Amino acid sequence: MRESSLAQSLAIESQIRLPGSAGRLLKQIRDIESVAPIFRDAGLVKAVQRPATVDLTVSGVATHSCIKRALGGFIYASAAVRTDMLIDSNRISTRGSDSVAELDDIDFEAQRKRLDLVEMRQAYALVERQLKNAEASQLILLDTPLFIAREMIPLKRNVKHWQEYEKTRTAISSFWENYREQLFPWNPQGAVLVSILSQRFSAIVSIARQDLKTEEGRKHLLLTDGFNQAQANRLVDLESRLSGVGDYRFIKGILGAFTRTMAFRMTENRARMEPTEPVEFGVVGFHFRGGRSSEIQMAQLAGEESDWNTETLDEVAWKLMVLDMQGQRKSTPLPQLLGHQQLKMLEQFTAYYRQGLSNAMKENHVEETWLSGLFEENEQ
């Protein structure tokens, strides 16, 4: 048998596969183009109008955490930064910033999930400080979920993880109990609290695949957001028409610049969120896209169908779109982008903290034979 190099194998394979791959991609593009107008006419995808002049006060909370090996175990650092901005007749300036941080040791058990909970708690702490301010921003952005999803809830036997969960759940529950009436939509003049996430891209496609002629099929949609039943009836055989088109590719195809999807409920037929008390007031979301090169993101809001309509949702959407910036190949609202710039120091500071911890322990009267191997590991 004739031997071939990797370069030759790849060249041959590309010649064989190229025509078929190109043909499939072109077919998928045609399928998306044939369905996209129906999504628009049914109200499932909407163009968002932006004002020529923007006047807005906004605060963005950015979070980050990291873990370092130290002394035979682990230490972590978690921080959140809130950046307050003013846009006055399209002129942008910062109004101030605030931050919280936490450093401690951590065991191996579910480290990343525990730190996700810590970040949520820190984000809410900064929002609470903002709302205590007499001049609270009109729009407050989070980069963590508003509520704790089912997959973030640990088993009770994981003691440390469960304690972190309980602490975060209590903090979120207390926040909504104390400040819900200050926030939009319960207070028409209140601040809008929005969580910006990159997830659930298949939501609007999955909803469109339901039988939208029935109440059961429409229960996920916010009908107050301009749903057109007559046009939606044209979405027949959607499953077969979109066969082979991935959900993410499809939503990228139907969402152009400055568009959003119809809002949908995030609590219908979905594993429960915590804390249950504030979640009972409703959780809704929609996907949006700013500029042509922007990534698709999801906005998560508290409230129910009776609390939101097309006008108020568009009001939130255009504000998110004008704040959208490209940072390290990821779309991020400008206030959070500035916050992430500050959070870059966290990794280096954690390394300093680890060194300080080592020095502090060396100065204690601890058996040198027990410590020697640990410090050697730390210096590697």
Most confident of 93-102, 207-216, 218-227: 93-102
Model pTM score: 0.87
pLDDT score at 360: 74
Name the average pLDDT for the chain: 86
Q: Is the pLDDT of residue 379 over 70?
A: no
pLDDT digits (tens, 9 = 90+) for 82-107: 999 999 999 999 999 999 999 988 88
Which 3 state secondary structure label does DSSP give 276?
helix
Query: Amino acid identity, residue 154?
Result: P
pLDDT digits (tens, 9 = 90+) for 5-34: 899 888 888 888 888 888 877 877 787 777
| For residue 185, cis peptide bond before it (omega within 30 degrees of 0) | yes
Question: Which of the pair, 175 or 234, is modelled with greater confidence?
Answer: 175
Helices (H), the chain: 6-41, 111-132, 159-179, 203-208, 215-218, 229-232, 238-241, 247-254, 276-279, 310-323, 334-343, 345-363, 368-379
Q: What is the mean pLDDT of residues 286-293?
A: 88
Sorted by where each starts, the structural domains of the chain and their CATH numbers stand as: 56-196+336-352 (3.30.420)
Q: What is the mean pLDDT of residues 126-136?
A: 90
pLDDT digits (tens, 9 = 90+) for 291-322: 888 889 999 999 999 999 999 999 999 999 99
pLDDT category of residue 365 using cuts at 50, 70 and 90: very low
Most confident of 5-19, 112-126, 150-164, 219-233: 112-126
pLDDT score at 369: 45
CB 343 within 8 A of CB 62: yes
Residue 285 CA to residue 141 CA, distance in Å, equals 14
